[in-house]
Amino acid sequence: MGYGSTKVTDKDRYVTIPTYLRLGIDCDKFGLGFSDWIERGARDFFHKDFRPRGTTEFLIEPFVSYVPSPNQNMEGGFIIAFKYEWPLTEKFHPYIWNGGGVMYITQHLREEALQVNFTPQIGGGFHYFIEKNKALNFEYRYRHFSNANLKLPNDGVNQGFISLGISWFY
């Protein structure tokens, strides 16, 4: 869950309380992770057994958000993203991610002529492992949403979020 807020034209703040369900697949298990690409390119410059410690995940993230302000409304949609995580310690694993998707907003905004919007996003945070396969998460994300000039106006809305959650790794 998280919290985000931004200013929109002719209205109070646009406040969002999202709930995310993040589903990830470890790309490294299939030889398709960022660490695999680095390893292939770095063999000429480093020792032949060089192996980066990070993990790359392909993510699918459906979400639904309660919008209490400026009027009570909802958002819903999904994003597809890639996340790169590296273990600094056994318990502390920071990560960065980037992706985008589609969303529907029930709120009518002067910035957007349509309620269906595209939403590129970027974020970073960390997992703090409390058990071998269970971690607490803290994350910041920045998202933009607009209708990709399908209809004017298309000024876009930019919003920052903080999120807290729990993850299970299988």
Other Cβ atoms less than 10 A from the Cβ of 95: the count is 19
Find the CATH number of the domain harbouring 151.
2.40.160.20
Amino acid, res. 114: L
Give the Cα-Cα-Cα angle 144, 145, 150 (nearest 5 degrees): 135
Range of the domain at 54: 2-168
Q: Which residues of 11-26 are buried (b: 16+ CB within 10 A; e: fewer)?
A: eeebbbbbebebebee
How would you classify residue 77: left for phi > 0, otherwise alpha for psi between -120 and 50, otherwise beta? left
pLDDT in tens, the chain (170 residues): 999 999 988 778 999 999 999 999 998 888 777 766 666 666 666 666 656 678 899 999 999 999 999 999 999 999 999 999 999 999 999 999 999 999 999 998 889 999 999 999 999 999 999 999 999 999 999 999 999 999 999 999 999 999 999 999 98
Q: Pseudo-torsion of CA 86, 163, 130, 31, nearest 10°?
A: -30
Q: How many domains does the chain have?
A: 1
Bridge partner residues of 160 (DSSP): 5, 142
- DSSP label at residue 148: T
